[in-house]
Structure 1
């Protein structure tokens, strides 16, 4: 009986960890821009997106207008910039825990 109970608990723990598995990312330099204007994502307006390893994700946790005028010459709707980001990919979106826009390279 004790073995059966232990087996059931182990099975439940394995299922729970599998369901909660989320891709955690370390701090890294990523391309950032407007998902619609620069990365070709389908959306309902200009929204910040992050491109990692060639795949683009809309960002949650920071907004396009938090980083200046999106339609300025160096803004996210006009240019692809670099940022140091930390977060995780969840439900095909990048959940930002930190975001530091790097100076524009000339």
Structure 2
């Protein structure tokens, strides 16, 4: 019987925790390109990668083919582009929660 009296109390304490959300990762602008063709990452084939600071990471959560023809003149195998991304690095890979190439954004240098 005492247990039944405490159930509403427990439910009241748990309710605020259910309404809490994890803040979305901050967006940042990075260089994006083919990891093997442009960013010096190992492997065969063409896989999407980003460079954050001076370090390049393969991307999980989207693919190179999701962002146009990779082998076009401005494609990710032929150019380093700028992209607005959010996500985090997990085990040396960038896990993207959002990924958007910026229009007309061929990065210079490197």
> Secondary structure in 2 aligned to 1:77?
coil
How far does the alpha carbon of each residue in 1:38-58 deviate from its partner, in whole angstroms, 9 at most, with x for none?
Answer: 001002310000100110000
> Secondary structure in 1 aligned to 2:65?
helix
Structural RMSD (CA): 1.6
**Which runs of 5 or more structure 1 residues have no equivalent in the other structure?**
1-23
Alpha-carbon separation, structure 2, partners of 1:26 and 1:33: 21
Q: State the number of aligned residues.
A: 83
TM-score by length of 2: 0.72
Moved over 2 A (4+): none
TM-score by length of 1: 0.74
Alpha-carbon separation, structure 2, partners of 1:73 and 1:25: 32
Q: Counterpart in 1 of 2:28?
A: 28
Q: CA deviation at 1:104?
A: 1.5
Greater Cα radius of gyration, structure 1 or 2: 2
State yes or no: 1:83 paired with 2:88.
no
Q: CA deviation at 1:25?
A: 5.4
How far does the alpha carbon of each residue in 1:5-47 deviate from its partner, in whole angstroms, 9 at most, with x for none?
Answer: xxxxxxxxxxxxxxxxxxx952100000000000010023100
Q: CA deviation at 1:80?
A: 0.1
**Which runs of 5 or more structure 2 residues have no equivalent in the other structure?**
1-23
Which one scores higher on RCO, CA 8 angstroms, separation ≥ 6?
1
How far does the alpha carbon of each residue in 1:55-102 deviate from its partner, in whole angstroms, 9 at most, with x for none?
Answer: 000000000000000000000000000000000000000000001110
